[in-house]
Amino acid sequence: MSGVFVVGTDTGVGKSLVAAALLHRLGERHARVVGMKPVAAGASRDDAGAWSNEDVLTLQAASTADAPAALRNPYLLNAAVSPHIAALRDGVVIDMAHTVSCAAALQSQADVVVVEGAGGFRVPLGHTLDGADLAVALRLPLVLVVGLKLGCLNHALLTIESIAARGLRLAGWVANRIDPQMPEQQANIELLERRIAAPCLGDIPHRLPPDARVAASRLHLPPGFPA
């Protein structure tokens, strides 16, 4: 079984779009792929009246293997704020062992699991835990989504340092052009290609609304990815 953990330089950089795009591309190679969002902050009622989260639904739509919602999204928090605040409001403690157990259960039901983090790489999940701790616990190769906007170079390079400091493997990164007005986008990508010792897996153009299948067409995955 294999999997990959999609993390971001910040919130709103397109992690869900890239995770869904990865599911579409990996679905071309594997019969059973499934997306997981361990912690989702921001719940609303779906058409059936059940509580759901937009990112979770995006991953579900791109998956080819069915799995219980409790495994795909162990923690659905009501408020669309930092997960540690949303969890405190809901009276929930995010348990790392439970999250890892859910990921392992998904891996037993699928060929590949694509896990999407919450917010940026070090987003707080509790009083002491953050997204980096979740990455260490899951021990999956990482894909970093860099949202192209002013400040992204600093955010990307700091995130790369944080990933390396924890001994985690970066399988690749994706440039997502979230701000069409940002100047010198190509120059920013070229600098990151020089500075990041992992392949650029794709360059996703700005598109409204975002389309995971279109984004998937812009991804170039090495043979055997993500192993």
Catalytic residue flag (residue 149): no
**What are residue 207's phi and psi, to 5 degrees?**
-155, 135
CB 149 within 8 A of CB 179: yes
Residue 172 β-bridge partners: 143
Structure token pair of residue 150: 């002013």
Burial pattern 36-48, b for ≥16 Cβ within 10 A else e, equals bbbbbbbbeeeee
Structure token pair of residue 57: 């639904």
Angle between helices 54-62 and 15-26 (to 10 degrees): 10
Query: From the candidates 37, 72, 84, 177, which is the catalytic residue?
Result: 37
Q: Is the peptide bond preceding residue 209 cis, with omega within 30 degrees of 0? A: yes
- Residue positions annotated with a catalytic role: 37
